[in-house]
Structure 1
Amino acid sequence: MVGNLTVYGDVLDGRFRDRLKLDHQTGSLTITDIRMEHTGLYELETKSVMKRFFLNIFDEISMKDGDSVTLNSDLTEMKDDDVIQWRFGNENTLLAEINKQTDSMTVYEDVLDGRFRNRLKLNNQTGSLTITNTTTEHAGAYALDINNERKMFLLAVYDEISVKEGDSLTINSGRTEITTGEMFFWLYMNEIALIARTKQWDDNITVYDDVLDGRFRDRLKLDDQTGSLTIRNITTQHAGRYVLLKERGLFKALSVSVYGK
């Protein structure tokens, strides 16, 4: 307790115990060692401001184009009354489901213009979902609903690129123009850091080049028209995985390796 500052870490069966840090100057709340049980709605109330945050927690899975991936349900065997549904993307498109109550199992591989056709395998014992021969169009957010409880996965299918130390690298967003109302977020996934973002409706462009001990300082440039990100004078410190997120799902992923001059 600092002044009139209290953290209630033992509420809700202690799921926040030893995980909460409250900044006594800004009022910002940090949750450390975060887990699925911390998913949900958070509210901030002050005398003049009320804010709401919905926290989604994803298991991030990284892979290369053409690989297969299994999204695990973490069940060893389904029970007689279990209902499992797998969904994909912003629209929560239903991909597959098992209903033990009716003894039915269905894979909807022709949805979304058939991008999953002949690629989905559903394990009828555990409910785990395998996607074979993945491409970048299979990247994004997947949701597993088990008896009305949800688990989230972020599948990143990485393109690979090599660049020489000291050169500049532009990671293209794939867009010629950002549409009104879109938000783009660039993340450095090796240490899960937000390094740039754009909000097209108010021309708000922000580059966070002082994160990670300043390794990106004076090196980042964000194109306000396309959302593409340029890293100047790149070094081996900047090697790793980069992800471009739209507001609700993965948009592009790139694995960057840096070789010496």
Structure 2
Amino acid sequence: MKKMFLKLVLLCLCLLRLDGAFGDDEVKTVPMMEGYSVTINSGLTEMKDDDVIRWRFGDENTLIAEINVTADRFTVYDDVLDGRFRDRLKLDNQTGSLTVTHTTTEHAGVYKLQINSEIKSFSLTLYRAFGESVSVMKGDSVSLNSRLTEMKDDDVIQWRFKKRFRDENTLIAEINKPADRFTVYEDVLDGRFRDRLKLDNQTGSLTVTHTTTEHEGEYELQINRVIKSFSLFVSGLKSVKEGDSVSLNSGLTEMKYRIQWRFNFRYENTLIAEINKRFDRFTVYDDVLDGRFRDRLKLDNQTGSLNITHTTTEHAGGYYLQINREIKRFSLAVFDEEKTVSVKEGDSVFLNSGLTEMEDDDVIQWRFGDENTLIAEINKRADRFTVYEDVLDGRFRDRLKLDNQTGSLTVTHTTTEHEGDYKLMMFSDLRMNSNLMMISDLMSPGRFSSKVFRVSVYGE
């Protein structure tokens, strides 16, 4: 949210510098944030005594404002088009410029200005005031929802991506309904989206599969002249058995300048370790948070990676690594002692969540194997129960059953391919839609619990 806020501030400052107006090019496109006012400049410094000025809007060229200087008549037709311009139009009585106040997506489109026999066109593009923040676990798929139930026959939809705020937006997917064309540009940006993009041919929503940290960034959706934005965060999941050690890898071969490690606890990012190369200072703050990290933190003095020893469930949660101005995120799950389960090949195995009934805000995930592959998920708030049967070459196809009351998982018709570790992650007591929160934010003490089941499958 902080990143999105900074973007809004910068955009507003730019708009203020432009005085909310745009010039007299033959066709001019301007971005404007929803809810703000915009002035469309006629290009005149002063109207002449015989000038007739008309402002029109949309494909039907609907007359919305008119000035007849000779008759000293200034008129706004704000009840046309179902009243979308009512109490929103203002005419400048000296220049004839038009201001649209309290803009909404209905005001996006082409405005035509006729000054006597001369015609100019302006295109207004509106941005949503706030974008969505979406989190996904590394390797999982994520869907960016267009919020359309169905596209219209004349819709043009474009998806763009940029890694950082200052980067240029790169077109990665496009739908042109009039031309019946659905296109994904998988080879852009060094092919990071190759075989990973899927477009919904009914709604225009975009799904990114097999996510990596390369897919983390800003996604921009333009539907005709309306623009929405999404911030995607990709968290790497680390899991460790209680009592063991875990290393959070900085990804560096050698440090430069400054590194900070922070731990998320109840939405506060607490500084737990810091390196300042310039002053040759390596510091661990192991007495913070009631000393839960005391004598447990070790910093690698070459790479800046962080090692946590003698882990307990108190160390589960989100870790943030800031390298200069870049931030990386890690989610750590600390599991209790395993419950080993043995099952005869062909039989079913029941993995008990331990719950008698899920709460309305619960999110439950079942993951399998060393890669923590998501195989089943329940989101009670969204009333969504999903089994991902086609992952891992379809080994779980038609074999997974979720209990919609307790979240327990049953694997039927087991084979040796189903042998391994099943990890249960339960996010509890969510106060807002989980799609708007970081995975690492959810994994705070009191909100997150986990179990692991080691399943062995034996023959006849």
Q: Does the alignment reach a TM-score above 0.5? A: yes
Change (3 A) 1:171 1:118: farther
| Equivalent position of 1:151 in the other structure | 328
Change (3 A) 1:223 1:106: farther
Instruction: Tell me which of the two structures has the higher relative contact order, counting C-alpha pairs closer than 8 angstroms and 6 or more residues apart.
Output: 1
| Equivalent position of 2:138 in the other structure | none
146-155 or 103-112: which moved more? 103-112
| Equivalent position of 1:88 in the other structure | 263
In the TM superposition, residue 144 of structure 1 has moved relative to its aligned partner by 1.1
Secondary structure of 2:214 counterpart: helix
| Equivalent position of 1:244 in the other structure | 425
Q: Is the 8 A contact 1:169 1:234 kept in 2?
A: no
Q: Is the 8 A contact 2:423 2:451 kept in 1?
A: yes
Change (3 A) 1:219 1:70: closer
Q: Is the 8 A contact 1:193 1:211 kept in 2?
A: no
Matched, 1:256 2:431: no
Separation in structure 1 between the aligned mates of residue 316 and residue 400 of structure 2, nearest angstrom: 28
Q: Letter of the 2:198 partner, please give it.
A: L
Q: Is the 8 A contact 2:316 2:333 kept in 1?
A: yes
Q: Is the 8 A contact 1:19 1:31 kept in 2?
A: no
In the TM superposition, residue 28 of structure 1 has moved relative to its aligned partner by 4.4
Matched, 1:163 2:338: no
**Structure-to-structure mapping, 1:95-244, within 5 angstroms:** 95-158=272-335, 159-165=337-343, 166=347, 168-172=349-353, 182-190=361-369, 192-200=373-381, 204-208=383-387, 210-212=389-391, 213=394, 215=396, 217=398, 219-222=400-403, 224=405, 228-231=407-410, 233=412, 235=414, 236-239=416-419, 240-244=421-425
Matched, 1:21 2:202: no
Change (3 A) 1:43 1:67: same
Q: Is the 8 A contact 2:242 2:334 kept in 1?
A: yes
Change (3 A) 1:95 1:243: farther
Larger radius of gyration: 2
- How many aligned residue pairs are there? 252
Change (3 A) 1:88 1:217: farther
Q: Is the 8 A contact 1:205 1:222 kept in 2?
A: no
Q: Letter of the 2:295 partner, please give it.
A: N
Q: Is the 8 A contact 1:61 1:156 kept in 2?
A: yes
In the TM superposition, residue 223 of structure 1 has moved relative to its aligned partner by 5.0
138-147 or 1-10: which moved more? 1-10
| Equivalent position of 2:147 in the other structure | none
Change (3 A) 1:99 1:15: farther
Q: Percent identity?
A: 39
**Structure-to-structure mapping, 1:50-89, within 5 angstroms:** 53-79=230-256, 82-89=257-264
Change (3 A) 1:234 1:253: farther
Change (3 A) 1:97 1:172: same
Matched, 1:42 2:223: no
Separation in structure 1 between the aligned mates of residue 424 and residue 357 of structure 2, nearest angstrom: 18
What is the TM-score normalised by the length of structure 2? 0.46
Q: Is the 8 A contact 1:58 1:153 kept in 2?
A: yes
In the TM superposition, residue 230 of structure 1 has moved relative to its aligned partner by 3.1
In structure 1, stretches of 5+ residues that fail to align are none
Change (3 A) 1:83 1:245: farther
Secondary structure of 1:113 counterpart: helix
Separation in structure 2 between the aligned mates of residue 183 and residue 40 of structure 1, nearest angstrom: 27
Separation in structure 2 between the aligned mates of residue 245 and residue 42 of structure 1, nearest angstrom: 29
Separation in structure 2 between the aligned mates of residue 64 and residue 33 of structure 1, nearest angstrom: 26
Separation in structure 2 between the aligned mates of residue 217 and residue 50 of structure 1, nearest angstrom: 40
Change (3 A) 1:163 1:10: closer
Separation in structure 1 between the aligned mates of residue 219 and residue 366 of structure 2, nearest angstrom: 23
